[in-house]
Amino acid sequence: MMTIAEEILLLAYREDTGKPQIGSIELDAAVAGAVLAELAVNNRIDLDGKAVVAKDAAPLDDAELDAALARIAGETRRRKPEWWVGKLDSRKLRGRLLSRLAERGILSEEQTKVLGIFPSTRYPELDPAPERELRQRVQSVFDGATPDERTGVLIAVLHAAKLDRKAFPDAPRQRIKEIAEGEWAGAAVRTTIASIHAAVAAGAIAAAVAATS
């Protein structure tokens, strides 16, 4: 099963060109937010006030999720979700997850050069079945089905990064807003979603400021 972060990437990259549909700043923040959200969905982290705390340090048998969980469990200071999004946010994380999708035959990994000089990597879709199934699951929620936690969080993170407009241009805006606000969820998950949304937005802004300073 794909992680939520991998699902974000599968929807973010164009099937034909293998290039992302949103900027790297927003995308990397979304991927980091998705990792944090997945830990929350799996009851590994929780929010104590406005701070992220490790609830259960047991590994999930996923290298990226387990590495993030270990960092959170080992942090001595109380940190907000947006701090953790900034800490986990990196192009290297995105690259590792994309390579995992390529290793599983879902994407292809093609090395190219921009202007014949600058190295670049494209990730065209190789196996359309996983994305097709993913889109069917998300579309059923747009059509009125109650989302499970994973799908609800996925849609909320897509909305936070404004990727929903690219990946599902015909989706009803009001329905996406309802899901992003977590009306379908219990109080704990709803609080987590709100924090992740703010964290992804804050992480994208902070990265943009750092890139221009």
Residue 94 has what pLDDT? 95
pLDDT in tens, 95-121: 999 999 999 999 999 987 766 677 789
Sorted by where each begins, the domain ranges of the chain are: 4-206
- 4-206 folds as yeast vps74-n-term truncation variant fold (1.10.3630)
Structure tokens that stand for 32 in this block: 């980091």
Instruction: Specify which of 45-59, 65-79, 188-202 reaches the highest per-range mean pLDDT.
Output: 65-79
Report helix angle 91-103 to 4-12, nearest 10: 90
Cβ(160)–Cβ(30) below 8 Å: yes
At residue 30, the 3 state secondary structure works out as: helix
Give yes or no for residue 187 having a pLDDT over 60. no
pTM of the model: 0.87
H or E element, residue 84:
helix 81-88
